[in-house]
Amino acid sequence: MYFYEIHCHMKETSRCSQVPAREMAMDYKRRGFTGMVITDHFVNGHSYADEPDTWEEKMEVFSRGYRAAKAAGDEIGLKVYYGLEYTYRRSTGEDYLALGLTEEQVLRDLKDCDQWQLEDFIDKVHALGGIIIRAHPFRQAEYIKTPAPDRSGLNVDAIEVFNGGNAKELYNYQAMEWALKEKKPMVAGSDTHTIPSNATNYIGFEQDPADYKALCQAIREGKAFIIHKPKE
């Protein structure tokens, strides 16, 4: 099996993370992972990238965690890919993982996307060749006004049914039931901010996807195995 973490946050970019990117990458390599997708909080989330004035400056700050993790990954033989966690605050406080894009695409083609309508953001990510994953749809938190999905039929490619940051297992199983109802592929992510929370929820493949595009396509096609380590 080939294991991938697809939901994690680096200290350099995400305000809530306690782990520097290099340390995070080293730990996942030690655990036997093939790769990871860095999904730091975007400029509309809990991110240091919300501080600068210009989009170019924001993206420079946003990429700090990914770049540090990628440099470490290149040294130790760990695949490290670029992603982001997009928080849509105009509605209920929904979170979405965008995978499959490059730094250049986000800088050039998603300028000021934190001000867009959610549907426009999703359509643009798809037009650029990326995928959208609905993250922890039933989580209850201060910024989530309604802890339940209210957008059935939204054009997402997969649903995160197991999330290591959820306080209750109930939220995970509610997400699984919803994914089955919506007939969407399922994934899992640790949503890690600390070393102890690493590798609690992740995905695996019988054959290693050749590159980032192949990884996203495998997720879209429902080929990912889910690994979940319950808290309870």
Kindly write down the DSSP assignment for every residue of 51-92, as one continuous string.
SSSSHHHHHHHHTHHHHHHHHHHHHHT-EEEEEEEEEETTTT
Return phi, psi of residue 21, to 5°: -60, -40
Lowest mean per-residue pLDDT among 3-7, 149-153, 160-164, 199-203: 149-153
Q: Which pair of tokens denotes residue 183?
A: 């007939």
pLDDT digits (tens, 9 = 90+) for 161-206: 999 999 899 999 999 999 999 899 999 999 999 999 999 999 999 9
With 60 as the cut, is the pLDDT of residue 147 above it?
no
**Distance (Å, whole) CA 213 – CA 218:** 9
Residue in the structure block whose two tokens are 């997009």: 86
pTM recorded for the entire structure: 0.95
CA dihedral 232, 171, 165, 180 (to 10 degrees): 110
CA dihedral 76, 69, 227, 128 (to 10 degrees): -120
Decide: 32 and 3 in contact? Cβ < 8 Å: yes
- What's the mean pLDDT in 103-124? 95
The pLDDT of residue 146? 62
